[in-house]
Amino acid sequence: MTFGIVFATIREYKLTGISDTNTLTRLLNDTFGDWLASQNVSHIEMLDENRLCLNVTGQLKEHNPTKGIQLFSRFLVVNLDEIQDEPETVGNAVESYISGAYTSEGDGAYVWIIPDGYMASLSATEQEWEQHGGGYFSHESICISNTADKDTLCLLEVLYEDTAIENVSCEFNVPAQRSVHYRLDKLKDSDSNPLIAKDAPVSYKITSRDARIVVQGSRILTSGEESMFASFGTVMAWCPTR
């Protein structure tokens, strides 16, 4: 797959009589959306008959003029007439995102929600085992991946179902090109008490301030005599679309 195929498809659409820019934009994103995303292009749009805008998932750091291509802070504008014999120049321009002309804002989204959260209390036996460092008992975790080229500050908000319980929150950093993993039962408040209440249905909202992130939630539930039964669940968080 190449940008040459994208531009050839535009010509084919026009030959069949499709010239409306809105229609062309929709068809192109429907047809090539997944491939474009793999090339760090989040969206393409026909501006007019001969100009195509490509939104790049990053921000321009260095301006290197290219014939037939206008470089802007977060997008490229391609003159199809000027690059029709050299479509690879567009690929090269977008490739500069990977080689450093653009700085990556990361994959995923800025806001993630895990609607279903619940941490069960530990039995007396489990509490004793835990004090001595043994066992792997009921708890929940969140994992955050930051693929961006910059650190980001994240806010975790805990939203209780029971209105008698006050919602709580905490902040944490996720370094660039790194991941963090938090045992939610280990989080403490300012008085060193557990931040999140046990046996209380909750939802979690994770908001990243500086970069797009990917969030995953997981849960282990233990039950039965001496925790003989255990279940493990992993679920991707949900990111709202706007």
Mean pLDDT to the nearest integer, 72-78: 85
Cα separation of 167 and 53, whole Å?
44
Q: Identify the pLDDT of residue 91.
A: 78
In the CATH hierarchy, which fold is given to the domain comprising 111-236? Hypothetical Protein Tm1070; Chain: A (2.60.290)
Residue 218 CA from chain centroid, whole number: 17
Q: Identify the pLDDT of residue 173.
A: 95
Backbone torsions φ then ψ of 210, nearest 5 degrees: -115, -15
Cα separation of 7 and 84, whole Å?
8
Cα separation of 53 and 64, whole Å?
17
Within 8 A by CB and 6+ apart from 12, the residues are none
Q: Identify the pLDDT of residue 213.
A: 93
Q: Identify the pLDDT of residue 99.
A: 47
Cα separation of 214 and 227, whole Å?
32
Confidence check: pLDDT of 226 > 70: no
Q: Identify the pLDDT of residue 103.
A: 57
Mean pLDDT to the nearest integer, 199-218: 92
Cα separation of 49 and 42, whole Å?
21
60-93 in b/e form (b: 16+ CB < 10 A) is: beeeeebebbebeeebbebebeebeeebebbeeb
Between these two residues, 218 and 125, which has the higher pLDDT value?
218
Backbone torsions φ then ψ of 6, nearest 5 degrees: -60, -45
Listed range (51-65, 133-147, 173-187, 209-223) with the worst mean pLDDT: 51-65
User: So where are the chain's domains?
Assistant: 3-104, 111-236
Q: Identify the pLDDT of residue 115.
A: 92
Mean pLDDT to the nearest integer, 225-242: 66
Give me the percent of the chain exceeding a pLDDT of 70: 86
